[in-house]
Chain A
Amino acid sequence: MRENGKMKNDYKVKTENITVDYGEKRALHGINLNISSNEVTSLIGPSGCGKSTFIRCINRMNDLIDGCKVNGKILIDNEDINNQNMDVVELRAKVGMVFQKPNPFPKSIFDNVAYGPRIHGTVKNKEELENMVRKSLKRAGLWNEVHDRLDASGLSLSGGQQQRLCIARAIAVNPDILLMDEPCSALDPIATAVIEELINELKERYTIMIVTHSMQQAARLSQKTAYFHLGEMIEFGDTSSIFTNPKHEMTEAYISGKIG
């Protein structure tokens, strides 16, 4: 459940000296980044700079990649997620993820959203499950479009709807944190606008980290922005100051379009 008793200064996610190696190749060189609750944090930077790799550390998705080694400390609510006592299934229930390409299961819309609650046993009966599905679809702004065809395949939706379905699927398990890996890169501008509006609403409830290639999107959406370059975090701070008054020359070069 969500913890509101924490002090405001306490960070939701703290990372200390994260390094990631793919075999011989080092993808992240010691990242220190602290994320506050109920904020949107954007990760920007040129392709291959390690921003996706970084957010995949937060829910340990990198465990699934052969030869990928993550070192360093990641604390969520002051708990080390790489600790042996941390169950990765519980972690991923707490840290939801939305991927670059909409990837609904080839099942019905209802089953897509119901999958998480079902495997985690967070609902007791059919009625609760239906409530949960309805609530999640409403939060993802999809309910009005699909409420009369919950049995239809998730793949029958448009790209933007599929992505919102994936968001509904992620929030149906009641996570604290939502990781979004370029959630709009496969969508047209209208669908993108809908998702951005949705993210704005979702930050009331969730701590959101979003990887994006669009600097306008980062500027519109996020309170904090981190600029990554070649596996290093160059600069991190309030979005407004990063975009108006970058401290590092590389950040300035990137946001003014000179590199990337």
Chain B
Amino acid sequence: MTNKKISALTKKRYSSEKRFKAYCIAALALAMAILFTLLSSITLNSLPAFTQTHITTDVYLDKNLLDPNNTNDLEAILREGPWRSLAKSSLREMVPGVNDRKEKRELYGLVSVIAGDSIKYYVKENPNDIGKKVQINIPSSDDIDLLTKGLIDRNLPEENRTVSNLQLKWLDQFIYEKRVSKRFAWKLFNHGDSREAEVAGLKGAIAGTLLTMFVTLIISFPIGVMTAVYLEEIAPKNRMTDFIEVNINNLAAVPSIVFGLLGLAVFIGYFGMPRSAPLVGGIVLALMTLPVIIIATRASLASIPPSIREAAYGVGASQLQVINHHVLPLAIPGILTGTIIGIARAAGETAPLLMIGMMAFIVDTPHKITDKATVMPAQIYMWANNPERSFESLTSAAILILLIILITMNALAIYLRKKYERKW
């Protein structure tokens, strides 16, 4: 009798276990599917941004034009050369018979507005080519770029597309002459921001992010670790430390924009620190990261078995020696993991930086922590707001690069944890 009862119950138990397992697998599959969709859509959207259409242009680097006074001074030539008009005249040479003002403008519209700079850069790298006829790869305008990538439909009626019939005719001629090529868009990494999609890059934002993270790290890591060591190892357990602990835990839950307001009011308003600077951004993000580091460090310290502390005290180590020789080295993997994850979170933060003016159009690459700068997430936000279609793929590319940076940081955290992890 009883056996039958038990076996009936066992069956029920097994089937409920199976169901539970199925739910868990379904949840996991759903999470993976969402992640996969997100990553693949970002990657697919971003692909066009990693290449850039170039038009190989014949340029005659006329010495009389570039250096009319025969100074042979390269710097003066670079500074004063008529680069823009040289680019324009070179285009006219390749497409004879364009005289009408409107037609001319359409012709110049084939290439980027910084076509002159491409020629200048070529001369800077190859000064001996002055006086020769050379071929220079000039980036196309963003509309031509979109067209060659198939993102603008050439079969649309002329009034519905941003590339005119005349431009199409010239472009087809260039393609026939094998002048049109797609190259890796290095400008993504060696150009700052720009209003023109074909030259807009992330160099400034990446440098800004690195500088900001540097400030965040050097402020939040030592303060966070020391606070945690004091609270966990040294402070007496009483109401005061309980109170502090509750407050630190609450601080971790404060909306990040509040830290931005604090930064604006205190660091910029009261201390007069520069606006839009990685210095202030870093301090604000450090305040945001502090509770994360403190909590992670405390958890890591608490996980060190008390037997290690007893052993060290037992042979006569002082408290400082116990902490420095035994507890901290054992806790380092956990501390580093917490720190890197905290910093990675800060690297993806936009809201607090909005308040201190780091959400700004800044072309120059910052070199010091007091220079004006922007950061990756802010750059993504600003590009996403641009109306030109080319910025669509640029935004995705920037997101992808930010994700790669963050994933690398997290992977580093996992690696450090595995490497220094000890068992006892």
On A, residues with C-beta under 8 Å from B are 59, 61, 64, 66, 89-93, 96-99, 101, 103-106, 115-116, 119-120, 155, 166, 169-170, 172-173
Q: Which residues of A contact B326 (CB under 8 A)?
A: 105
Q: Quick check: A66 and B237 within 8 Å, CB to CB? A: yes
Q: Quick check: A96 and B321 within 8 Å, CB to CB? A: no
Q: Quick check: B310 and A103 within 8 Å, CB to CB? A: yes
Q: Which residues of A contact B317 (CB under 8 A)?
A: 89, 115, 119
Q: Which residues of B contact A99 (CB under 8 A)?
A: 307, 310-311, 314
Q: Which residues of A contact B423 (CB under 8 A)?
A: 155
Q: Quick check: A105 and B311 within 8 Å, CB to CB? A: yes
Taken together as a complex, chains A and B put the C-alpha atoms of A59 and B318 apart, in Å, by 13
Q: Quick check: A119 and B424 within 8 Å, CB to CB? A: no
Q: Quick check: B311 and A103 within 8 Å, CB to CB? A: yes
Interface centre among B237, B312, B316, B317 (most CB of A within 10 A): B316
Q: Which residues of A contact B314 (CB under 8 A)?
A: 59, 61, 92, 96-99, 170
With CB as the reference atom, state the residue of chain A lying closest to B311: A103
Nearest first, the 6 A-B pairs at minimum CB distance are A92-B316, A103-B307, A97-B314, A116-B315, A93-B316, A103-B311
Question: Does B380 sit within 8 A of A, measured CB to CB?
Answer: no
Q: Quick check: B311 and A92 within 8 Å, CB to CB? A: no
On B, residues with C-beta under 8 Å from A are 236-237, 305, 307-318, 321, 325-326, 330, 422-424
Q: How far is the CB of A124 from chain B (nearest CB, A)?
A: 18
Taken together as a complex, chains A and B put the C-alpha atoms of A98 and B326 apart, in Å, by 18
Q: Which residues of B contact A64 (CB under 8 A)?
A: 309-310, 313
Taken together as a complex, chains A and B put the C-alpha atoms of A115 and B311 apart, in Å, by 11
Taken together as a complex, chains A and B put the C-alpha atoms of A166 and B314 apart, in Å, by 10
Q: Which residues of A contact B315 (CB under 8 A)?
A: 92-93, 96, 115-116, 119, 169-170, 172-173
Q: Which residues of A contact B236 (CB under 8 A)?
A: 66
Q: Which residues of A contact B424 (CB under 8 A)?
A: 106, 155
Interface centre among B307, B313, B315 (most CB of A within 10 A): B315
Q: Can you report 8 A-B residue pairs in the complex whose CB atoms are below 8 A from each other?
A: A59-B314, A89-B316, A92-B315, A103-B305, A104-B311, A106-B422, A169-B311, A169-B315
With CB as the reference atom, state the residue of chain A lying closest to B238: A66
Taken together as a complex, chains A and B put the C-alpha atoms of A104 and B318 apart, in Å, by 18
Q: Quick check: B316 and A61 within 8 Å, CB to CB? A: no
Q: Which residues of B contact A166 (CB under 8 A)?
A: 311
Q: How far is the CB of A20 from chain B (nearest CB, A)?
A: 17
Q: How far is the CB of A52 from chain B (nearest CB, A)?
A: 12
Q: How far is the CB of A5 from chain B (nearest CB, A)?
A: 25
Taken together as a complex, chains A and B put the C-alpha atoms of A233 and B310 apart, in Å, by 26
Q: Which residues of A contact B422 (CB under 8 A)?
A: 106
Q: How far is the CB of A222 from chain B (nearest CB, A)?
A: 21
Q: Quick check: B313 and A105 within 8 Å, CB to CB? A: no
Q: Quick check: A89 and B310 within 8 Å, CB to CB? A: no
| Partner pick for A90 among B305, B309, B312, B316, CB 8 A cutoff | B316
Q: Which residues of A contact B237 (CB under 8 A)?
A: 66
Q: How far is the CB of A58 from chain B (nearest CB, A)?
A: 12
Taken together as a complex, chains A and B put the C-alpha atoms of A103 and B325 apart, in Å, by 15
Taken together as a complex, chains A and B put the C-alpha atoms of A169 and B316 apart, in Å, by 11
Taken together as a complex, chains A and B put the C-alpha atoms of A93 and B325 apart, in Å, by 17
Q: Quick check: A105 and B316 within 8 Å, CB to CB? A: no
Q: Which residues of B contact A92 (CB under 8 A)?
A: 313-316
In the complex where A66-B236, A105-B326, A106-B422 touch, is A119 in contact with B307 (Cβ < 8 A)? no
In the complex where A66-B236, A89-B318 touch, is A103 in contact with B308 (Cβ < 8 A)? yes
Taken together as a complex, chains A and B put the C-alpha atoms of A106 and B325 apart, in Å, by 11
Q: Which residues of B contact A120 (CB under 8 A)?
A: 316
Taken together as a complex, chains A and B put the C-alpha atoms of A61 and B417 apart, in Å, by 32
Q: How far is the CB of B331 from chain A (nearest CB, A)?
A: 12
Taken together as a complex, chains A and B put the C-alpha atoms of A173 and B316 apart, in Å, by 9
Q: Quick check: B307 and A105 within 8 Å, CB to CB? A: no
| Partner pick for B312 among A66, A91, A105, A172, CB 8 A cutoff | A105
With CB as the reference atom, state the residue of chain A lying closest to B317: A119
Taken together as a complex, chains A and B put the C-alpha atoms of A89 and B179 apart, in Å, by 82
In the complex where A106-B330, A106-B424 touch, is A61 in contact with B308 (Cβ < 8 A)? no
Q: How far is the CB of B155 from chain A (nearest CB, A)?
A: 71
Q: Which residues of A contact B308 (CB under 8 A)?
A: 103, 105-106
Taken together as a complex, chains A and B put the C-alpha atoms of A98 and B318 apart, in Å, by 18
Q: How far is the CB of B66 from chain A (nearest CB, A)?
A: 70
With CB as the reference atom, state the residue of chain A lying closest to B423: A155
Q: Which residues of B contact A96 (CB under 8 A)?
A: 314-315
Taken together as a complex, chains A and B put the C-alpha atoms of A98 and B314 apart, in Å, by 8
Q: Which residues of A contact B309 (CB under 8 A)?
A: 64
Taken together as a complex, chains A and B put the C-alpha atoms of A96 and B313 apart, in Å, by 10
With CB as the reference atom, state the residue of chain A lying closest to B237: A66
Q: How far is the CB of B326 from chain A (nearest CB, A)?
A: 6
Q: How far is the CB of A165 from chain B (nearest CB, A)?
A: 11
With CB as the reference atom, state the residue of chain B lying closest to A116: B315
With CB as the reference atom, state the residue of chain B lying closest to A89: B316
With CB as the reference atom, state the residue of chain B lying closest to A154: B424
Q: Quick check: A61 and B310 within 8 Å, CB to CB? A: yes
Q: How far is the CB of B167 from chain A (nearest CB, A)?
A: 71
Q: Which residues of A contact B305 (CB under 8 A)?
A: 103
Q: How far is the CB of B257 from chain A (nearest CB, A)?
A: 40
Taken together as a complex, chains A and B put the C-alpha atoms of A99 and B314 apart, in Å, by 9
Q: Which residues of B contact A97 (CB under 8 A)?
A: 310, 314
